[in-house]
Amino acid sequence: MKRVVVSQRVDIFPGQNEQRDALDQRLIEFLLHTDCIPVPIPNSLFPKPDTLARWLAAVAPAAVILSGGNDIGSCHSRDLTEYGLLDYAEHNHLPVLGICRGMQMIGVRAGVKLRTVKLHVKTRHTIHGEIVREVNSYHKLALSTCPIGFNVLARSTDGEIEAIRHEKLCWEGWMWHPEREPSFENDDITRLRKLLGSN
């Protein structure tokens, strides 16, 4: 099994003066189904970047998973953590999967702007391209264009980018949430295993 670092959403509880890192337990279950050992990364390693570097050196991940949740820009510590993870993954040639916000982060890091979309929240739709199937959808923002150095794997019927893959690196982004399916999709499990070099 491969150790993978998973980014976490930030939930704020003002009444208790707390900011909590969180992961959907179903995402952990999904990653276990793909022969991964998930290691959640805290969003409190900044503002000292060397702390992140020491943490990653100690964990020695085989891959990086950027999870969903939180709009980019709404939580500075999470943004910094994920930028740091992508820098680390690129420098060390590690596979990356970006889920929903995670795919958006990959695009934003590459210089792409996000735009508001309609009819993509709490719904299902068909995607087409290299990937053809029905997927869930929980996002109100989408990539305005495909990042340089990436290819579009799938679009929704209204033309929005739903999946991307880097031309050279083992990086993919999916706008759907594999962990939110009632039963995990074999296609998602197979794609992630292939991305991680487990097939």
| Mean pLDDT score across all residues of the chain | 96
Bridge partners, residue 134, by sequence: 126
Q: Specify the pLDDT at position 48.
A: 72
CATH superfamily of 2-195: Class I glutamine amidotransferase (GATase) domain (3.40.50.880)
CA distances, 67 to each of 9, 16, 105, 158 (Å): 7, 25, 10, 24
Provide the angle, in degrees to the nearest 10, between the axes of the packed helices 186-195 and 25-33: 70
* CA distance linking residue 38 with residue 162, whole number of Å: 24
CA 2 from centroid of its chain's CA atoms: 17
Give domain limits for the chain. 2-195
Cα(109)–Cα(1) distance, rounded to whole angstroms? 29
pTM listed for this prediction: 0.96
Residue 94: pLDDT over 70: yes
Mean pLDDT of 124-149: 97
